[in-house]
Amino acid sequence: MGWVEGRFEENFITTTLEQAINWARESSMWPMTFGLACCAIEMMATGASRYDMDRFGAGAFRATPRQADLMIVAGTVNYKMASRVRRLYNQMPDPKFVIAMGACTCGGGPYYKYGYNVVKGVDLVVPVDVYVPGCPPRPEALLEGLMRIQDKVKGMRYLTKNQPIEVPIPARTGYVQLPPELDDPNPLKAMEKQLAFAKKTKEEAAPSKA
């Protein structure tokens, strides 16, 4: 802290207000008690004594979104649940953070192709800060995700003036846009075109006998 450092008596620390707030905030992330499927078991293990999330200040699982600032979406989100997830997210006070825990919340996971009822990634519903892949992720992985959230909190510049406006976390929305030469109103024809295109590129990429 430059010239003020070490000029006062012992046990007197100087810092900026922002750093102090960020330090307090990152050291007491309160997650929401919110388990949707099997990943919740691993989240509970992370909170329990062996892995002990409380070492990092995030062990106080709150039973209400209004007291929480970290949402760990642990488990498969289906369409019926998606509106509830969104509402819980909206009920959390700012600043709020979201960890997408597990393959299902990262992008549909094993339900990507044939899960008629599963949201293909919770980032289609709420903005996600940290993705923790795995099926389910190990508790260590979730702790790592938590630390990345803490890094993010540490970097927050809420009080500093003239900071660039933070770009919202990129969320995948809308349909997949296909180039016009591969798209067709008839989905079967479109699929044929895409297959032909994929085959052609694969043949072109194949090593030729010289």
Q: Report which of 149, 148, 125, 158 is spatially closest to residue 21, judged by C-alpha positions.
A: 158
In the complex, least distance from residue 120 CB atom to another protein, rounded to whole angstroms = 7
Residue number with CB closer to another protein (160 or 177): 177
CB of 175 to another protein, least distance (A): 6
Among 14, 16, 67, 83, binds another protein (CB under 8 A): 83
Residue 164 one-letter amino acid: P
Could you tell me which residues come within 8 angstroms of residue 118 by beta carbon, excluding any fewer than 6 positions away?
A: 76, 77, 78, 79, 104, 108, 111, 112
Q: Which is nearer to another protein, 12 or 112 (CB)?
A: 112
Q: For residues 34-71, b (16+ Cβ closer than 10 Å) or e, as one string?
A: bbbbebbebbbbbbeeebebeebbbbebbeebeebbbb
| Residue 180 near another protein by CB under 8 A | no
CB closer to another protein, 3 vs 114: 114
Residues contacting another protein: total by CB under 8 A:
15
The residues in 120-179 that bind another protein, with binding defined as CB under 8 A, are 120, 124-125, 172-176
Cβ within 8 Å of residue 75, ≥6 positions away: 35, 36, 37, 38, 39, 40, 101, 102, 104, 105
Radius of gyration, alpha carbons of the chain:
23
Rounded-to-integer distance, Cα 88 and Cα 70, Å: 11
Of 2, 7, 11, 116, the one binding another protein by CB under 8 A: 116
Q: Shortest approach of another protein to residue 119 CB, angstroms?
A: 6
64 binds another protein (CB under 8 A): no
From 25-33, 112-120, 141-149, 154-162, give the range in contact with another protein by CB under 8 A.
112-120
Taking contact as CB under 8 A, which single stretch among the options 41-49, 56-64, 77-85, 195-203 is the one that binds another protein? 77-85
| Contact (Cβ atoms closer than 8 angstroms) between residue 126 and residue 32 | no
List contacts with another protein (CB under 8 A): 79-80, 82-83, 116-117, 119-120, 124-125, 172-176
